[in-house]
Amino acid sequence: MTTPHAGDEAIDSAAVQAFAEEFGDRATKLPPVAVVIAAFNEEGAIGPVVEGLPATVGGLAAAVIVVSDGSVDATGKEGREAGALVCEVPVNRGQGAALRLGYRLAREGGARYIVTTDADGQYNPAEIGSLMAPILAGQADFVTGSRTLGSEETKDPVRKLGVRVFALTISVLTGQRISDTTFGLRAMRAEVTGAVRLEQPQYQASELLIGVITHGYRVAERPATIHRRQVGKSKKGNNAFYALSFAKVVFGTWWRERRRRQRGAAARPAGDGPGTPGQLADGAVAYRPGAARARD
Ligand SMILES: Nc1nc2c(ncn2[C@@H]2O[C@H](COP(=O)(O)OP(=O)(O)OP(=O)(O)O)[C@@H](O)[C@H]2O)c(=O)[nH]1
Ligand SMILES: [Mg+2]
């Protein structure tokens, strides 16, 4: 249940319509996999990223959807020239709002699976296959890459500590062991993005993750790599601001989802409990879907 606010809904609907008008069947008859990228002023970076994505994932054809909101450079042009379907939103709302719109375009266009990556070239497209594998094998609904299980180039100790602290916090709050909560390379069944409540305009990563876990979807992690940004600038803000904003989303979402589940439990017959953990091959952890998947 993605829930944009009233003004957002008008912006999203106009963008969806313009997207369909520009790309016709390419937008409305998507292949099974849609790679969704939020991009803001990523000229020089977005082209090579789109060109570097695989045409097929696990034997399934893939299309690329770039959502650029309020970019003032050639992000949109460069994305189109590289072969992406570009949705341009006139106002800048943030990465979370852009991803939410990208998920909607993917679902409404008929994609069955969604992969996310960033426009800044920090992720390795060759790792998409390993993230999709548990989903295609029917073992998971949502798979996130993990730098803790894989590797990272940053030397920033604050960032490194932050990744671990937030991983521990979300693991404790949700009961799902997770080692990286902000990794931008992810794969999921498309329906997951329509079931989880997504309101955060900017820092959506933990809202999506906590929502997916608390809905009882099967979550897994795979080792993955994060490189340093080579082109352009980070949009994240300084570490302290980011950490505070992120913490607010983590606790706010956890509390909201806890209340949703309590309301759901009160309305459900006994014995209809939450998901239970299971173990996947390669040490990845998955949760089995349970009645916690109840929609609100
Ligand atoms: N459409 C859109 N995309 C955004 C916005 N802010 C960030 N992004 C995109 O989100 C992705 C991640 O942004 P980054 O600034 O690289 O943030 P990050 O990777 O979390 O942080 P760094 O490690 O500092 O790079 C990139 O593809 C950005 O272009 C936004 O307001 N709108
Ligand atoms: Mg980045």
Give the up-direction half-sphere exposure of residue 139: CA atoms within 13 A in the CB hemisphere. Answer: 19
Across the range 189-212, mean pLDDT stands at 95
Q: CB of 43 closer than 6 A to ligand 1?
A: no
- What does the pLDDT read at residue 3? 64
**Nearest Cα to Cα of residue 70 among 43, 94, 37, 96:** 94
In the beta sheet, which residues pair with residue 188?
Answer: 114, 142
Question: What percentage of residues in the chain have a pLDDT greater than 70?
Answer: 89
- What does the pLDDT read at residue 294? 33
Q: Is 24 helix (H, G, I), strand (E, B) or coil?
A: coil
Q: CB of 13 closer than 6 A to ligand 1?
A: no
Q: pLDDT of 218-228, one tens digit each?
A: 999 999 999 99
CA of 230 to the centre of ligand 2 (A): 10
- The full set of domain ranges for the chain reads 6-293
Q: Which one of the ligands is nearest to 242 CA?
A: 1
Report the chain's C-alpha Rg in angstroms. 18
Across the range 162-171, mean pLDDT stands at 94
Structure tokens that stand for 254 in this block: 């956890």
Residue 15: pLDDT above 60? yes
* Amino acid, res. 80: R
| pTM over cut 0.75 | yes
CA of 121 to the centre of ligand 2 (A): 8
Q: CB of 36 closer than 6 A to ligand 1?
A: no
**When comparing pLDDT for 45 and 263, which is higher?**
45
Q: pLDDT of 71-119, one tens digit each?
A: 999 999 999 999 999 999 999 999 999 999 999 999 999 999 999 999 9
Model confidence band, residue 261 (pLDDT cutoffs 50, 70, 90): confident
Q: Please report the atom of ligand 1 found closest to the CA of residue 89.
A: 1
Across the range 162-183, mean pLDDT stands at 94
Q: How many helical (H) and strand (E) elements, i.e. helices and strands, does the chain have?
A: 10, 10
- What does the pLDDT read at residue 229? 86
> ∠ CA(9), CA(252), CA(214), 5° rounding?
85
Mean pLDDT of the chain: 89
* Residue in the structure block whose two tokens are 């904003």: 245
Q: How far is CA 256 from the centre of its chain?
A: 19
Q: How buried is 286 (Cβ within 10 angstroms: 0-12 exposed, 13-18 middle, 19+ buried)?
A: buried
Q: pLDDT of 112-141, one tens digit each?
A: 999 999 999 999 999 999 999 999 999 999
- What does the pLDDT read at residue 2? 62
Alpha carbon nearest to ligand 1 atom 16, residue: 234
**When comparing pLDDT for 1 and 70, which is higher?**
70
Model confidence band, residue 4 (pLDDT cutoffs 50, 70, 90): low
CA of 117 to the centre of ligand 1 (A): 10
The answer to whether the beta carbons of residues 207 and 214 sit under 8 Å apart is no
Across the range 19-35, mean pLDDT stands at 98
CA of 35 to the centre of ligand 1 (A): 16
Residue 283: pLDDT above 60? no
- CATH class in words for 6-293: alpha beta
Q: CB of 185 closer than 6 A to ligand 1?
A: no
- What does the pLDDT read at residue 290? 41
Q: Which one of the ligands is nearest to 101 CA?
A: 1
**When comparing pLDDT for 229 and 149, which is higher?**
149
Alpha carbon nearest to ligand 1 atom 13, residue: 235
Structure tokens that stand for 81 in this block: 């020239």
* Residue in the structure block whose two tokens are 């080692």: 179
- What does the pLDDT read at residue 211? 96
The answer to whether the beta carbons of residues 97 and 78 sit under 8 Å apart is no
Residue 237: pLDDT above 80? no
